[in-house]
Amino acid sequence: MHSILIIDDEEAVLRALGRLFNREYQVEQHSDPLTAVESMKVNDFDLVVSDIRMPNMDGFAVLKHFKKHQPNAGRILVSGYADIEDCQNAVHDGLAHMIVSKPWDNFELKSVVKLVLENSELKKKNKVLLTQLKA
């Protein structure tokens, strides 16, 4: 079962995302990005879904930490603001794989999550195959 780390400072958003994904995936949720960063240092996740605007640390910083600790995992930013240029830069620079706007459509978000997880899984398998080829 894939594991997803969800980070959003709004409890209602956390609950909604938890309900959306907890039947298909193992879900860990944090309203504080700092505790989420600590968790990603000791727990493996296949995907992080993070809000952009949060106190203490924004979603871009969260994804930088996630990319450093778990580079092959998927990274999705969720934004309710018009941070279009910053979001485009995050995707262009390889920080985020996808951007999802609030409010989201459940079917579309589930589809995006599935695609990002599939992509992540392929990257991990490719890494294993490359290691085997080198040996």
Model pLDDT for residues 60-82, shown as the tens digit of each residue: 999 999 999 999 899 999 887 66
Residue 5 amino acid letter: L
Rounded Cα gap, residues 36 and 45, in angstroms: 11
Give CA 15 to chain center in angstroms.
Answer: 16
Model pLDDT for residues 48-63, shown as the tens digit of each residue: 999 998 998 998 999 9
Specify the pLDDT at position 81: 66
Residue 11 amino acid letter: E
Specify the pLDDT at position 95: 87
CA distances for 47 relative to 53, 85, 106, 123, 131, angstroms: 19, 23, 17, 13, 23
